[in-house]
């Protein structure tokens, strides 16, 4: 190894890809973008969107490029970050592929339709609860994903769930301007349980720069009840102390 590194000898060639777990909130539930594979291996199975890293770009650039292609959005306004790298030797039967997985999320992606610029056979937003990721036994009632994408998606989900605990990224899921109830629904969708209303407002409003108030009120057409104040995302990035999930983070 270092011998090869020092002398510039031959080294094993790899393909390097990025895979994307793109989340959005659609009709109150957390949804992830999946594409259906046309060819073997795993023909017909659903998979995370992704593609090869080009010879002159880094993984982050490749991820941004794929994101634009798959979502059909020129300017993706949300958040993208590296998750982890998956490198099991048998993860792709055709060749030796190392995948740098990324997590992305943004508001309202599901509205414009995912297939706009996608070159996949089919693409759709799946509510994560319909994927049966928590079930230990795959098969019944669950979608079995291609390659190791179920592992990646599980890790991505946990990343998102924990990240909104100690950062302000939840606001990235909300369409601007948003009400505090909208923001709370983001937490409810991602965590599966809503934080206490009163404590939630206090937390958000007492964190400087989490949200900034606007002049407007939520004057919906047929909506009931008192109109809520509208907010935009503020400059703050971290929450301290963290917002706690109603049931707490998983052990381990």
Q: How far is the CB of 166 from DNA (least distance, A)?
A: 11
Can you spell out the DSSP letters for 146-190? Answer: STTHHHHHHHHHHHHHHHHHHBSGGGGGSPSSB-HHHHHHHHHHH
Q: Which x/- pattern over 44-83 shows residues binding a copy of itself (rule: CB under 8 A)?
A: -----xxxxxxxxxxxx----xx--x------------x-
Task: Tell me: cis bond preceding 241? Omega within 30 of 0 counts.
Answer: yes
Q: Which stretch binds a copy of itself (CB under 8 A): 25-33, 43-51, 125-133, 137-145?
A: 43-51
The residue (of 113 and 216) whose beta carbon lies closer to DNA is 216
Based on C-alpha coordinates, what's the Rg of the chain? 20
Residues 187-206 interacting with DNA (rule: CB under 7 A): 196-199, 201-203
Q: What is the total count of residues that contact DNA (CB under 7 A)? A: 23
Rounded to whole angstroms, how far apart are CA atoms 190 and 186? 6
Question: Does position 250 bind DNA by CB under 7 A?
Answer: no
105: β partners: 23, 79
Cα–Cα dist 98/19, whole Å: 10
For the chain, how many residues are written?
Answer: 252
DSSP 74-95: SS--SEEEEEEEE--TTSSSSS
Stretch that binds DNA, among 26-34, 108-116, 169-177, 227-235 (CB under 7 A): 227-235
Residue 119 touches which of DNA, a copy of itself, none (Cβ within 5-8 Å per kind): a copy of itself
Residue of 143, 181, 194, 236 interacting with DNA (CB under 7 A): 181
Determine if 225 is a binding residue for DNA (CB under 7 A).
yes
Q: Which does 5 bind (CB under 5 to 8 A by kind): a copy of itself, DNA, none?
A: a copy of itself
244 binds DNA (CB under 7 A): yes
Pick the closer one to DNA by CB: 89 or 225. 225
33: phi then psi, degrees, rounded to nearest 5: -85, 125
Least CB distance to a copy of itself at residue 110 (A): 21
11 φ/ψ angles, rounded to the nearest 5 degrees: -140, 160
Distance CA 191, CA 188 (A): 5
**82 binding DNA? (CB under 7 A):** no
Task: Please give the residue ranges that form the binding site for DNA (CB under 7 A).
Answer: 179-181, 196-199, 201-203, 218, 222-229, 241-242, 244, 246
């Amino acid at each position: 190894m270092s011998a090869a590194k020092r002398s510039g000898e031959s080294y094993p060639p790899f393909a390097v890809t990025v895979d994307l777990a793109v989340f959005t909130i659609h009709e109150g539930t957390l949804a992830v973008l999946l594409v259906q594979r046309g060819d073997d291996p795993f023909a017909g199975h659903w998979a995370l969107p992704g593609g090869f890293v080009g010879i002159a770009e880094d993984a982050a650039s490749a991820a941004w490029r794929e994101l634009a292609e798959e979502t059909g959005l020129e300017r993706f306004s949300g958040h993208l970050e590296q998750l982890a790298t998956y490198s099991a030797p048998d993860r792709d039967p055709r060749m030796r592929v190392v995948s740098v997985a990324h997590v992305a999320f943004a508001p309202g992606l599901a509205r414009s339709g995912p297939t706009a610029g996608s070159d996949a056979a089919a693409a759709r937003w799946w509510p994560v609860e319909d994927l049966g990721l928590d079930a230990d036994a795959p098969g019944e009632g669950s979608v079995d994903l291609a390659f190791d994408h179920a592992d990646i998606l599980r890790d991505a989900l946990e990343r998102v769930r924990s990240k909104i605990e100690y950062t302000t990224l939840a606001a990235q899921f909300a369409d601007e301007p948003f009400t505090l109830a909208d923001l709370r629904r983001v937490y409810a969708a991602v965590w599966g349980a809503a934080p206490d209303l009163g404590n939630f407002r206090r937390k958000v409003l007492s964190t400087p720069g989490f949200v900034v108030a606007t002049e407007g009120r939520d004057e919906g057409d047929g909506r009931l009840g008192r109109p809520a104040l509208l907010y935009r995302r503020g400059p703050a990035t971290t929450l301290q102390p963290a917002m706690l999930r109603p049931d707490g983070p998983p052990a381990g």
